[in-house]
A = this chain, B = another copy of it.
């Protein structure tokens, strides 16, 4: 029993090291994965219960496709005697590799590699999936469209295209990963902009010192850079949430699944004066299991880069409970970029509305 546990841990380490080697370019892409991938940097590795992952994993899969599995398809079972450190996704296109092991006759999901790498990597492996979808998600935009700054003057977030908002609500209801009722949707130029919009929105405007921003290590390497690059007097990066001991207001970033380790996360500091931002960019069934209860946090961030792989669209959205925070986030985006590309919103609306959950 102890030996088998040791073996599982050892294999996980081997797999992780090989994957890291791959990402560092020591192996060619086809040595480990069958899809083209420009990954260069950190990985998102998730250890999950096999049953839940299996039931939720194929939300982008169509019925036609799921009826024709390839020899090496998503969730293949690999015996310990024939363990491979990666498995092909040919014919599917979801940027994830599951490795199952059989230990003492019992199958379990050992590792789930996410190949959507960030910031130096690129979700190009989604491309094949969307190519296979043909013309269904093609958008046609005439030259006279999107002249106006405004999308819906009645909306708090007046540059949010109603079609995109509806597609976001539909998708969350379908997947069951986040509550949309009694929430304001704020659209952003990617979740990177939305993260900064939240910092602006929740930071006290006239405090004697900038509010601390923390996240439990290991955290997404760009968070400190994004927080610090303008030397804002409103907020400052304060590092690892585990080490935050001040009895003062703070902002905690909870990234779940976490980038770079893929683990599910909860808030760490848990003090009264804390404001939580939940970065749920990877909280989709192709990366992790989805809880039976949809996420119900005050501020939740999502992005099409991770949900459908359209990183080039630079489009994200926030689900925000508090009206004043949503208003100030909108204000940030107006001051930062006077809204968000309507072309990207129109296209994402069509693409998101096509996502199925079998």
Measuring CB to CB, which residues of chain A are less than 8 angstroms from any residue of chain B? Answer: 38, 119, 122-124, 126-131, 133, 135-151, 189-190, 192-193, 196, 200, 222, 225-226, 229-234, 305, 309-315, 332, 334-344, 346-347, 350-351, 354
New A-B pairs, 20, CB < 8 Å, besides A222-B335, A314-B338: A38-B150, A127-B144, A127-B147, A131-B144, A133-B143, A138-B141, A139-B140, A141-B141, A143-B350, A145-B312, A147-B310, A148-B311, A149-B311, A189-B337, A192-B336, A200-B229, A229-B335, A231-B234, A312-B342, A313-B343
From residue A70, how far is it (CB to closest CB) to chain B in Å?
A: 19
CA distance A154 to B38 in the complex (A): 15
A136 contacts which chain B residues (CB < 8 A)?
A: 143
A340 contacts which chain B residues (CB < 8 A)?
A: 189, 314
Q: What residue of chain B has the Cβ atom nearest to residue A347's Cβ?
A: B343
A128 contacts which chain B residues (CB < 8 A)?
A: 144
Q: What residue of chain B has the Cβ atom nearest to residue A121's Cβ?
A: B149
A145 contacts which chain B residues (CB < 8 A)?
A: 312
CA distance A62 to B135 in the complex (A): 33
CA distance A357 to B319 in the complex (A): 46
The answer to whether B234 touches A230 (Cβ under 8 A) is yes
**CB-CB nearest 6 A-B residue pairs:** A137-B143, A146-B312, A231-B233, A341-B341, A343-B343, A130-B144
The answer to whether A347 touches B141 (Cβ under 8 A) is yes
